[in-house]
A and B are shown apart, each in its own frame.
Chain A
Amino acid sequence: MNICVCVKQVPDTTEIRIDPETHTLIRAGVPSIVNPFDTYALEAAVRLREKLGGRVVVISMGPPQAAEAVRSCLAVGADEGYLISGRKFGGSDTLATSYILSEAIRAVEKKEGISFDLILGGKQAVDGDTAQVAPEIAEHLGLPQVTYALGIEEKDGELRVKRDCDNGYDIISVKLPAVVTVVRLPYEPRYPSIGPWLESKKRTIPVLTEADLETVDLTRCGLNGSPTKVKKSYTPVREKHGVILSKVPADEASAKVAGMLREAGII
């Protein structure tokens, strides 16, 4: 099974700290990591490959330094990785990004001489949180999609995907090729072992620019191809709901609570 895994380099949100004086985020020196949801997608891909054979190819769109994210995927089982990076791609919203990635997937298939049976990604990136890119890739490529996977199994050339729902999960059967986005899995992504880790440090990550995507329509890329306009961003105000009764004896407090509930028409 040939699998393409789309990953994104994101700031390590566990490392983001608040400046004690200005109360703003300290962005300087925050390391970059592979989006955690994408690491589960990659682990699922590598496990499928270990069982069924084939190739796992990682692609990532981003600035030149995102090559490090691709490299780290090579250390945990990806066979090949491509960085999609071009000046015309800068400023892309989710629609333009998914369009570019779908073109890149076609270009990578050609370069590798394979066709992908499965395209995997995390359910969303932890920096943008849109959860739009992978489903849009499926639309651009005309493929079926299953989102919010908690488990992926292959059976007789089809995938059985356990899909997360509010009240439990669905088991969805999907014919390949397809796009699947992953929330998490019953197992943890593997840690890189020293051999592949050292090897990955020596690999050159091929970069595909607009010149390498033969059929790409540049009017659909970058700022020009992005209908999304961010007018303003702000930190949501934390509203405190609920009332806390402190330093009140228990019987007095319970009477007060009962009174408040009655006033609110709840009891």
Chain B
Amino acid sequence: MYNQLTPEIISMIQKVSDHVYTGGDISPDYARDEMPIYGTRMPDLAVQPRSTEEVAAVMKICYENNIPVTPRGAGTGLAGGAVPLFGGVLMDISKMNRILEYDLENFVVNIEAGVLLADLAADCLTRGMMYPPDPGEKFACVGGNVATNAGGMRAVKYGTTRDYVRAMTVVLPNGEITHMGATVSKTSSGYSLMNLMIGSEGTLGIITELTLKIIPAPKAAASLIIPFRDLRTALATVPKFRMNHMDPQAIEFMEREIVMLSERYVGKAVFPQELSGEPINAYLLITLDGTSSEEVDKLIEQAANIALEAGAMDVLIADTSNRIKDAWAARSSFLEAIMEETKLLDECDVVVPVNKIADYLEFVNEQGRKCGLEIKTFGHAGDGNLHIYQCSNDLDEEEFKRRVDAFFDIIYREATRCGGLVSGEHGIGSGKIKYLVDSVGETNMELMRGIKQVFDPKMILNPGKVCYKL
């Protein structure tokens, strides 16, 4: 159904781009993202464009010749979204990485889509500004964050990536360049095409430039490590912060075992394992921010009182940037720490209502045992987004996949049943389509396929992802 790249087409692409790779010059990284269990495939040609026009010119050639194109940022995805399942052209936008312009009167920054999240965050800070979305993977491209509507640690207070996109430049599958959105903060101007693009995982168009909302950076912040005897008590504490008019920037939960695993990986132990001889089994890690250190001191006291009343064993305070960094180092390295000690790995990032987290995790752990899988979990207690990892060092891949499939069927069904959704922030990619269908139903899937058809009638852009398999 797609055409193969011919020497003629390759030379046409080489005429419009100086950054074309073929054969052995193609990086093997382009065959995969960070979750290779969903399948790998090398592209037949890779391009690293430096401008929107270059993206458009390559796209036009592929459109006219019916060649599939897979857009890619830093390749840090976890759902197989950037894997060129049908070969063809891989469009790596990571070299379009310039921060173009700040407009501090309208609180926006213009960037190319390949800018790394870490670079954008650091650059904003030098101007006293903050780009609030804070996904765990700091070396992802912001374009990829937008394409998956990445969430992250600060979503509980500041929202997800979607809440910070004001405008974008998009190359459509036919090579046409279009602009969506505007710098303004309100709109009631027809269908929001921009919001369709956000979370579309490179299936509707290629995002090349972004106008992002930024906010004045909080002047002071502190994190609290709050140890608990059990996870249920920890999770029951979370809504109490809100009820008491507190608005933490981040509220993460974690269990003892994964903290120890991650601290081994990081090589620094800051989480206490016991208190006066009593073992600690779960933690909340929260961050509070404010306009002055005096204000944050008051928030610390308030949060500590709430936590202690709810059954916390103690409250430990990280009030210097080094302590905050160390407290978060373990949390930020969970995935890498798991990867380091695991041969076969699959993951799901369901989101469930906050008051269902404890019950749901109990269910998940029980099903893991029944399916014969080792399960590791952590997640965002403030918004119900859970990261559930299936790990194995002794099963063969076929058997592992079989067990994970059975496990996923059960736990996704349960997530939907209790009011949740398939993915909180990682996306659907190629790995989760089946579960999306089960969760949102055929009517909604048909609407998605219809939208895909309008944007991409030849179905050449990132085929086999999100809403249809080929």
Contacts and interface: CB of A to CB of B under 8 A. Distances in A.
Contacts of A234: none
Interface in A168-211: 187-188, 190-194, 197-198, 201
B298 to A, nearest CB: 11
A194 B304 CA distance: 7
Interface centre among A12, A75, A192 (most CB of B within 10 A): A192
A190 B308 CA distance: 19
A198 B318 CA distance: 14
Interface residues of A, number: 24
B269 A12 contact: no
B361 interface: no
Contact of B325 (A14, A26, A33, A198): A14
Contacts of B315: 193-194
Interface residues of B, number: 28
Nearest to A14: B321
B127 A20 contact: yes
Contacts of A33: 320-322
B125 interface: yes
B321 A15 contact: yes
Given A12-B322, A36-B322, A194-B308, A188 B269 contact: yes
A187 B272 CA distance: 11
A188 B271 CA distance: 10
A17 interface: yes
Contacts of A18: 126
Nearest to A198: B301
Given A188-B270, A198-B301, A14 B322 contact: yes
Contacts of B301: 194, 198
A188 B326 contact: yes
Interface string B198-220: 00000000000000000000010
A188 B127 CA distance: 33
A29 B123 CA distance: 17
A239 interface: no
A129 interface: no
Contact of B320 (A12, A19, A194, A201): A12
Nearest to B316: A191
A191 B126 contact: no
Interface in A29-66: 29, 31, 33, 36
A36 B323 CA distance: 10
Contacts of B219: 29
Contact of A12 (B125, B268, B317, B321): B321
B351 interface: no
Interface string B267-282: 0111000000000000
Contacts of B247: none
Contacts of A26: 126
B333 to A, nearest CB: 16
B409 interface: no
Interface centre among A12, A190, A194, A201 (most CB of B within 10 A): A194
Contact of A17 (B125, B323, B326): B125
Contact of B317 (A19, A36, A188, A192): A192
Contacts of B322: 12, 14, 33, 36
Contacts of A191: 225, 270, 316-318, 323, 327
A72 B318 CA distance: 11
Contact of A31 (B225, B304, B321): B321
A31 B320 contact: yes
Contacts of B269: 187-188
Interface in B305-356: 308, 314-323, 325-327
B118 to A, nearest CB: 14
Contacts of B126: 17-20, 26
Nearest to B312: A194
A181 B323 CA distance: 22
A18 B123 CA distance: 10
B297 interface: yes
Nearest to B271: A191
Contacts of A31: 293, 320-321
Nearest to B128: A29
Contacts of B300: 194, 197
Contacts of B320: 12, 31, 33
A36 B293 CA distance: 20
A56 B325 CA distance: 27
Nearest to B219: A29
A64 B319 CA distance: 20
Contacts of A29: 219
A19 B269 CA distance: 34
Interface string B281-304: 000000000000100010011001
Contacts of B319: 72, 192
Nearest to B226: A194
B316 A192 contact: yes
A36 B127 CA distance: 27
Contacts of A36: 322
B314 A193 contact: yes
Given A18-B126, A20-B127, A194 B321 contact: no
B317 A194 contact: yes
Nearest to B315: A194
A197 B321 contact: no
Contacts of B270: 188, 191
Nearest to A19: B126
B46 to A, nearest CB: 17
Interface string B231-270: 0000000000000000000000000000000000000111
Given A15-B321, A194-B300, 5 more contacts: A12-B322, A26-B126, A36-B322, A72-B319, A197-B300
12 contacts: A14-B321, A15-B321, A20-B126, A26-B126, A31-B320, A33-B320, A33-B322, A187-B269, A188-B269, A191-B316, A191-B317, A194-B300
Q: Which 9 A-B pairs have the closest CB atoms?
A: A191-B316, A194-B315, A194-B304, A33-B320, A192-B317, A14-B321, A17-B126, A20-B126, A15-B321
